[in-house]
Copies of this chain bind each other. A is one copy, B any other.
Amino acid sequence: MDFDVSTLKFDEKGLIPCIAQSEAGEVLMMAWMNAEAVTKTLETRRVTYWSRSRQSFWIKGETSGHTQNLIDLRVDCDRDCLLAIVEQEGAACHTNRRNCFYTSVVDGTERELITPMKG
C-alpha cells in the first residue's frame, strides 16, 4: 500500500509525536512532526521535527551537528505515533547527553543515569 501522509492522525495542532531510537535500541528522544516534517524526513532522510517553541521546522543537528540520519520510519497501529530508527551523530539531547531519558525515578527519588558527553 502506498504511504499517504494524510492518513496519519495528527492532533488538533496538526502534530504527531515521533520517537527516535538508535539502531542499537536506545530510545534517544521524542519530538513532534507536522505533515510536512514527515514528508521532509522521508525525502531527505534527515530527521526533521516541528519545533513547538520556535514554531518552525527543526532539522535535527542543523546547528549542533548532532544529526539523525533516517534508517527506517514506522507508524503505529493507531497511526497517531511514529518511530524513527536513526543513526545518531553525537548527543541526541540538548544537554549534550546521548539521550534525553537520563533521569530515573527510584524509590521516590530522582537519579541521573548518564552524564553529558565531553567536547
Contact = CB atoms under 8 A, between A and B. Distances in A.
B75 A103 contact: yes
B3 A108 contact: yes
Contact of A17 (B17, B72, B100, B109): B17
A5 B73 CA distance: 32
Interface residues of A, number: 37
A100 B76 contact: yes
Given A3-B109, A30-B81, A74-B101, 5 more contacts: A1-B109, A21-B27, A73-B104, A77-B100, A81-B101
26 contacts: A2-B109, A3-B105, A3-B108, A3-B109, A24-B25, A30-B76, A42-B105, A42-B108, A72-B104, A72-B106, A73-B105, A74-B101, A74-B103, A74-B105, A74-B113, A75-B101, A75-B103, A75-B110, A76-B100, A76-B101, A76-B103, A77-B93, A77-B100, A77-B103, A78-B100, A81-B100
